[in-house]
Amino acid sequence: MSAFPGLWFSDAVEHNLVLDGHGFRLEPLALAHVGALAAAVDEAMWSGMSTPTPRGEVGMVNYVEDTLATPDCLAFAVIDQVSGEVRGSTAFCALSHDQGRAEIGRTFYDRQVWGRVINPVCKFLLLEHAFSTWGLFRVSLRADSRNTRSIAAITRLGATYEGTLRGFRLAPDGSRADSLSFSILEPEWPRVRAGLLDRIDPLRRIVVAEEGGRAAGQGG
Amino acid sequence: MDHAITLDGYGVRLVPLAPQHAADLAALVDAELWAGMTVAVPDTADAMGAYVAAAIATPGRAAFAVLGAEDGEVRGSTSLYEWVPAQERVELGSTFYGREFWGGVTNPACKLLLMRHAFEEAGINRLALRADSRNARSVAAIERLGAVREGVLREHRVAPDGSRGDTVYFSILAREWPAVRAGLLARLPAKH
């Protein structure tokens, strides 16, 4: 006996938010992005996500439609502004202006751009919008406990670990996995922001230091 | 979301929350009772009507009115929410009862009925509960269930008075349900 009502989807959450800077543009996720995103996905890189691996373009169409139908979720395709290529996807989810909070998640990137600046840039653009434009107080992030790459990335941001949600995700292989929960609060954003900018533009630290040195040497 | 779940037992009946319950629910609440929630206290029939409408319209939320089984009297409301069947997880909360029903069988009965439905009928593997960390009564009630405390979501929620507070997060997994069920049954009259 199942007491579940039928699957419930809201109307697709349409948004027109575009965020850009530091060589990347986040634009509303759409079916037009399916081809490029499907090519970016493989089983191994999807293993830390909370949905089964989208297989081929059909699978990615389902993933994109499911994402677009998720309430309170603003999803983006991540575009390399120089090449025009779609390099990944990410989203604000569980956005609540009343509660002053949102989560960043549903993030994946093409392997070819791993380890470079795409993630710090996307995190910078999303967090800057969340804290500085929307005036949110809290942004949370979650990672599958087995996704060491993701945990390392979130920790490197400077987010604070808050606890482990036991058996939160049904992993693509059918097992139940824990999710680690992290957050960044508004008073912590300046420090996180500086850390991201240092990673996005390592030369910036030298420039800032030089300017500081020049200023200190002047006057008096 | 619309749902058709009705649960009976231990002197209470849970029915889908509906607009007709709003007036009776409004009469039960006051600011102090409502302090652990995250919306303004709906202590007029109109305000409670809006609360009920929002609850019914929320995706992934099955909201219930709690009635006395014998007399049909409205005792309060509770919900299963953030229900994700594909992930076999759900949360239980947004619970309030009139003061005259505190400390009796109403809460354990509701918890038993809802959790039994979730774990034994709806294929749930993870049921979570949250409380405002400042709501000692609610935190104690959840701990008494035997739910496992997982962490504190910092500055997570805005209270009705506009202040930000932490949310304490608990869960019960399917393998833990038998022990939780036994604890609840021990708090309820054997005859029901």
Digit-coded pLDDT (tens) for B67-103: 999 999 999 999 999 999 989 999 999 999 999 999 9
A10 lies in some domain? no
The answer to whether residues B64 and B17 touch, using CB atoms and an 8 Å cutoff, is yes
Cα nearest neighbour of A70 on chain B: B59
Rounded to the nearest 5 degrees, what angle is found at the Cα of A14, between the Cα atoms of A10 and A15? 140
Contact B128 A165 (CB under 8 A): yes
Chain A contact set for B86 (CB, 8 A):
170
B192 CB near a chain A CB, below 8 Å? no
- For chain B, residues with pLDDT lower than 70 are 191-192
Q: Which member of A4, A138, A167 has the closest CB to residue B126?
A: A167
The ranges assigned to domains in chain B are: 7-186
Query: What type of residue is A119?
Result: N
What is the domain count for chain A?
Answer: 1
A152 lies in some domain? yes
Contact B153 A183 (CB under 8 A): yes
**Helices within chain B (DSSP H only):** 22-28, 45-57, 106-116, 136-145, 177-186
Nearest Cα of chain B lies from the Cα of A162 at a distance, in angstroms, of 6
B154 CB near a chain A CB, below 8 Å? yes
Rg (CA), chain B: 16
A110 lies in some domain? yes
Q: Is the ipTM of this complex over 0.90?
A: yes
B87 CB near a chain A CB, below 8 Å? yes
Nearest Cα of chain A lies from the Cα of B190 at a distance, in angstroms, of 26
Give me the pLDDT at residue A211, please.
61
**Among B28, B175, B160, B3, CA closest to B98:** B28
**Chain A, 61-90: which have a CB under 8 Å from a chain B CB?**
71
Query: What type of residue is B39?
Result: V
Contact A5 B157 (CB under 8 A): no
Q: What DSSP assignment string belongs to A55-123?
A: PHHHHHHHHHHHHHTSTT-EEEEEEETTT--EEEEEEEEEEETTTTEEEEEEEEE-GGGTTSSHHHHHH
**Cβ pairs A/B, distance under 8 A:** 85
Contact B155 A1 (CB under 8 A): no
**Predicted confidence pLDDT, tens digits, chain A (220 residues):** 333 333 333 444 578 999 999 999 999 999 999 999 999 999 888 887 878 899 999 999 999 999 998 888 999 999 999 999 999 999 999 999 999 999 999 999 999 988 889 999 999 999 999 999 999 999 999 999 988 989 999 999 999 999 999 999 987 677 899 999 999 999 999 999 999 999 998 865 555 566 666 655 544 3
Cα nearest neighbour of B118 on chain A: A3
Q: B7-186 belongs to which homologous superfamily?
A: Gcn5-related N-acetyltransferase (GNAT) (3.40.630.30)
**Among B2, B3, B6, CA closest to B114:** B6
Contact B122 A4 (CB under 8 A): yes
Give pairs for B120-123: CB < 8 Å, separation 24+. B120/B177, B121/A1, B121/A2, B121/A3, B122/A2, B122/A3, B122/A4, B122/B85, B122/B90, B123/B85, B123/B88
B50 CB near a chain A CB, below 8 Å? no
Q: Which domain holds residue A132?
A: 19-211
Q: Which member of A2, A8, A99 has the closest CB to residue B38?
A: A99
B128 CB near a chain A CB, below 8 Å? yes
Chain A contact set for B152 (CB, 8 A):
162-163
Q: Identify the CATH number of the domain in which residue A149 sits.
A: 3.40.630.30
Contact B151 A163 (CB under 8 A): yes
Give me the pLDDT at residue A50, please.
75
- Encoded tokens for B181: 């069920």
A13 lies in some domain? no
Nearest Cα of chain A lies from the Cα of B100 at a distance, in angstroms, of 31
**Chain A, 7-66: which have a CB under 8 Å from a chain B CB?**
7-8, 10, 50
Chain A contact set for B150 (CB, 8 A):
163-166
The answer to whether residues A20 and A26 touch, using CB atoms and an 8 Å cutoff, is yes
A169 CB near a chain B CB, below 8 Å? yes
Name the percent of chain B lying above pLDDT 70.
99
**Chain A, 107-146: which have a CB under 8 Å from a chain B CB?**
137-138, 140
Cα nearest neighbour of A142 on chain B: B153
